[in-house]
Amino acid sequence: MTHAFPAPRHSHPDRPGFGPAPAHHAELEELLDLDALFGAPVLAQAMDEASHAMITEPRTIVDLGAGTGTGTVALAHRFPGARIHSIDASVGMLDRLREAARDAGVAANVEAHLADLDDDWIADLPDGIDLAWAALSLHHVGDPARLLRQVFDALRPGGALVVIEMTGETTYEPADLDTERSRLGERVVNTLAERGYPVVADWTRALESAGFAPIARSEATLTASTDTPDGARYLGLQLGFNRTLLGDGLEPDDLEAVDDAITRLRAGRATISAASGRAIWVAVRPVVAE
Ligand SMILES: C[S@@+](CC[C@H](N)C(=O)[O-])C[C@H]1O[C@@H](n2cnc3c(N)ncnc32)[C@H](O)[C@@H]1O
């Protein structure tokens, strides 16, 4: 099935939270591109850990819920001998991904697949995948346990799955978001958390249940600041999405201050930095002795 952006699914006790479909796709795509820039150290750490977990360099990689190609391009640079199959259910995302792969000079190694991870996505892929990559995407699917079993079966023994999610820990400097409202950033983060944002998922048990072993979990931090125009744009977009999610969940004076911070970020007149935690799982399909 093809759709612009998969809608959020209903809650399930075995599946920790999930976010809404953002209203503005162009802004989401821009945000994902900027994530690529500021999240590069996080991806580098995840790729280092995956490299250590695998016995040989990957030749066949699958990027699950590949979005605008952040992970795909990083993987193509890191593993130039690999063919990367990038899967997403959004036509718009895959268009951006192809463009990103062309711009990065790695298009020859990248194959984009329009497919729903809750459907028969595996049919088009080769056997014996070496590395599967699911960054900020596993919580979007309707049945993650099923998807993890499918990934386990599709990996060669000794192959690895990398899952990346947010930890939910975000801190701002200054804590008042460069407003006169003391600790405003904390109240924004706490109110969003009460509403289930960002999605904070712990996949360790689900990975164990699918048969993966060993499973390693580590953490990394994405930082961005208004020191650069890209940083200011990134923080402005982030806070803009957060503002939509906050609704009327803060006191009017706080909401006004958040609006003011967004306006000043967009005008390049705010001085703010943010640090946001990421959790990285590297899960290996065990090599079973004959
Ligand atoms: C938050 S984005 C992450 C994109 C990318 N992995 C990254 O790290 O930038 C989640 C992506 O998963 C895709 N997605 C969500 N549910 C999906 C499904 N059931 N099948 C295929 N793709 C899906 C969305 O279209 C979106 O591009």
Lowest mean pLDDT among 71-75, 93-97, 208-212, 286-290: 286-290
Q: Which amino acid residue places its CA nearest to atom 4 of ligand 1?
A: 67
Residue 52 contacts by C-beta under 8 Å, 6 or more apart in sequence?
none
- Record the tokens describing residue 55, joined without a space: 């016995």
Span 171-211, pLDDT tens digits:
999 999 999 999 999 999 999 999 999 988 899 999 999 99
Q: DSSP letters of 112-139?
A: EEE--TTSSGGGGSPSSEEEEEEES-GG
pLDDT at 23 over 70: no
- pLDDT score for 30: 87
Partners of 279 in the β-ladder: 165, 219
Ligand 1 pocket test, candidate residues 88, 113, 165, 278, most atoms within 8 A of CB: 88
Q: How confident is the model at residue 289 (pLDDT cuts 50, 70, 90)?
A: low
pLDDT at 31 over 50: yes
Q: Which domains does the chain have, with CATH numbers?
A: 25-168+198-222+277-284 (3.40.50.150)
pLDDT at 35 over 90: no
Element (H, E) at 53: helix 40-53
Burial class (CB in 10 A: 0-12, 13-18, 19+), 10: exposed
What angle (nearest 5°) sits at the alpha carbon of residue 172, between those of residues 170 and 174? 165
Quote the ligand 1 centre to 18 CA distance (angstroms): 12
- Per DSSP, the three-state class of 79 is coil
CB 166 within 8 A of CB 200: yes
Percent of the chain with pLDDT over 90: 83
- Whole-number Å distance between alpha carbons of 185 and 183: 5
- Whole-number Å distance between alpha carbons of 97 and 104: 10
- Record the tokens describing residue 64, joined without a space: 């699950």
Span 200-232, pLDDT tens digits:
889 999 999 999 999 999 999 999 999 999 999
- Whole-number Å distance between alpha carbons of 208 and 211: 5
Q: Is the CB of 6 under 6 A from ligand 1?
A: yes
Quote the ligand 1 centre to 114 CA distance (angstroms): 11
- pLDDT score for 15: 30
pLDDT at 278 over 80: yes
Q: How confident is the model at residue 64 (pLDDT cuts 50, 70, 90)?
A: very high
Q: DSSP letters of 155-212?
A: EEEEEEEEEEEEEEEEEEESTTTTSSSTTHHHHHHHHHHHTT-S-B---HHHHHHHT-
- pLDDT score for 63: 98
Mean of the per-residue pLDDT values for the chain? Answer: 90
Quote the ligand 1 centre to 268 CA distance (angstroms): 30
- pLDDT score for 124: 86
- Whole-number Å distance between alpha carbons of 116 and 122: 10
- pLDDT score for 24: 65
